[in-house]
Amino acid sequence: MKKNITILLSLFFLINFTELNANSLKESLNLAYQNNNKLNAERANLRATRAEQEGSLSEFKPSITISGYVSEQDNTKTTGTKDTNIGPTEQSILIEQKIFQSFGGLAKVKKEKFNYNLSKFKLKKVEQETLLAAAKAHTDYLLNEKKVQINNINIDLLERQIDSDKNRLERGEINLTDLAQSEASLAGARAKLIAAQNDLITSKANFENIIGISPSKDFNSENSVIFNLPKNLAESIKISEHENPDIKIAQLEYEKSQQDIIIARSDLSPSATLSYKLSEQEDVSSTVKDRTQQTLKATATWPLYSGGSNYSNLKKAKELKGQKELLLEDNKKIIKTKVVNAWSSFQSNKSVLNSIRSQVRAAEIANEGITQEYETGSSRTTLEVIQSRTILLESRINLATSERDYLISQFDLLASIGRLTAGHLDLNSN
């Protein structure tokens, strides 16, 4: 029985471990979106800001305070009358309502609303940064894995060539120089493999740091992410003006600064409060046993002068508004430049990828023909074979790199316009 339970538990943990490993790009993005600490911290900040927004409405609601006290009084008289000891007590309820506070209260409510929207766009910004980092970590690991595979294949081919060259040397078909060229090429290929393996180790560590788990042995190049990219540059710029989080953050900061001016002005304006207090007192004095008081009071205040702090706060708020306005305009220019660069990079990487695919096909045909001619004893030299294989190796690595760059350029374009989000990429559906 114990053995069966052990087997079942082992299978359970094996299944769960397999499920936790990231295979496809979409799975890596999902894991980073759900588990990234920085992103989860920003989600918590959004919830806290939401609570602050709800609390800002207290400016327009009455406050109710219940209070009371119990005391002991020992009254000693110097005349012939008898000393008295009493214990006054009081229970009261106070209701206060602000009936006028200029426009400062409304401005504070609007400011908290802007703060909440600001937190939403800050969350969106971190979400985009997280997904972009996850995409780069995934594709970098995949690229380095392909480089290791390509270099291993190249080494295998060179080792077989050296064996063939040794046989041909014995038959007198080639000389020692030809064999040395093949051996030198093999040594160079092994050095490239070591470099590729080191890059793979580094990219794996980065993958674990960003995605949260190790890449699985079944790691594949499947890409089921649907990007829904803009059709042209003009559309990309238009979308970015409405959806890019950096622009929205700068815009909300500017709108908050406008409310700060209204709040600062309210500190120079009159305010009015209405209050009602009901109190019951017992054992008030030796002559008064019980007393009930009801007080309705209207209070008006107008801060005419407070050392100049109110005026300096207003001046400061106006200057900050000017600063936020300049930053908003600067952000618009910066984002427009980023969108143009992202669109240009996307188009360029697309063209480069098509060209390199043609290069790989041509290099494969050329290498196959030169190798066959060399092995059949034609006039092809060892150097020509090595050169054609080097060109093929480099073109294959360039193809893998170009595929990665083209994929990332699509993520960069979405990030620049503000649509690199889980919702747009449909990450929650499998």
Task: Tell whether the model's pLDDT for residue 11 goes beyond 80.
Answer: no
Q: With H, G, I as helix, E, B as strand and everything else as coil, classify residue 325.
A: helix
Q: Which domains does the chain have, with CATH numbers?
A: 21-62+101-269+333-420 (1.20.1600.10)
Percent of the chain with pLDDT strictly greater than 70: 89
Place 424 in a pLDDT band, splitting at 50, 70 and 90.
very high
pLDDT in tens, 320-340: 999 999 999 999 999 999 999
CB 139 within 8 A of CB 207: no
pLDDT in the model for residue 130: 97
Which of 35 and 56 is assigned the larger pLDDT?
35
pLDDT in tens, 15-38: 333 344 567 899 999 999 999 999
- For 349, left (φ over 0), alpha (ψ -120 to 50), or beta? alpha
pLDDT in the model for residue 83: 56
Mean pLDDT of 416-430: 87
Q: In sequence order, what are the beta bridge partners of 296?
A: 276
pLDDT in the model for residue 14: 36
Task: Tell whether the model's pLDDT for residue 78 goes beyond 90.
Answer: no
Q: What is the mean pLDDT of the chain?
A: 86
Distance CA 234, CA 340 (A): 9
Which of 243 and 295 is assigned the larger pLDDT?
243
Place 82 in a pLDDT band, splitting at 50, 70 and 90.
low
Question: In Å, what is the CA distance from 363 to each residue of 99, 109, 193, 399, 401?
Answer: 83, 67, 21, 12, 17
pLDDT in the model for residue 172: 84
Task: Tell whether the model's pLDDT for residue 166 goes beyond 60.
Answer: yes
Neighbours of 195 (CB within 10 A): 14
Distance CA 213, CA 360 (A): 34
Task: Tell whether the model's pLDDT for residue 39 goes beyond 90.
Answer: yes
CB 84 within 8 A of CB 286: yes
Place 77 in a pLDDT band, splitting at 50, 70 and 90.
low
DSSP string over 290-319: EEEEEEEEEEEE----STTHHHHHHHHHHH
CB 196 within 8 A of CB 148: yes
User: What is the pTM assigned to this prediction?
Assistant: 0.82
Task: Tell whether the model's pLDDT for residue 164 goes beyond 90.
Answer: no
pLDDT in tens, 349-392: 999 999 999 999 999 999 999 988 888 877 788 888 899 999 99
Take residue 388 and report the two structure tokens written for it: 């054609």
Question: In Å, what is the CA distance from 194 to each residue of 6, 79, 155, 188, 337?
Answer: 41, 109, 12, 10, 40
Q: Comparing C-alpha atoms, which of 407, 400, 402, 404 is closest to residue 150? A: 400
Place 416 in a pLDDT band, splitting at 50, 70 and 90.
very high
Q: Which of 65-79, 88-102, 345-359 has the weakest average pLDDT?
A: 65-79
**CA angle 270-271-273, nearest 5°?**
155
Q: Comparing C-alpha atoms, which of 255, 258, 268, 259 is closest to residue 312? A: 268
Q: Which of 5-9, 49-53, 301-305, 399-403 has the weakest average pLDDT?
A: 5-9
Place 288 in a pLDDT band, splitting at 50, 70 and 90.
low
Task: Tell whether the model's pLDDT for residue 180 goes beyond 90.
Answer: yes
Place 10 in a pLDDT band, splitting at 50, 70 and 90.
very low
pLDDT in the model for residue 286: 55
Buried b (16+ CB within 10 A) or exposed e, 46-61: eeebeeebeebeeeee
pLDDT in the model for residue 330: 97
DSSP string over 377-424: T-S--HHHHHHHHHHHHHHHHHHHHHHHHHHHHHHHHHHHHT--SHHH
Give the HSE-up count for residue 405: Cα atoms under 13 Å, Cβ half-sphere: 18
Distance CA 186, CA 182 (A): 6
pLDDT in the model for residue 225: 87
pLDDT in the model for residue 101: 73
Neighbours of 22 (CB within 10 A): 26
Give the HSE-up count for residue 54: Cα atoms under 13 Å, Cβ half-sphere: 6
**CA angle 166-172-178, nearest 5°?**
55
Type of residue found at 132: L
Q: Which of 54-63, 181-190, 266-275, 370-379 has the weakest average pLDDT?
A: 54-63
**CA angle 228-131-125, nearest 5°?**
90
Which of 153 and 173 is assigned the larger pLDDT?
153
pLDDT in the model for residue 104: 79
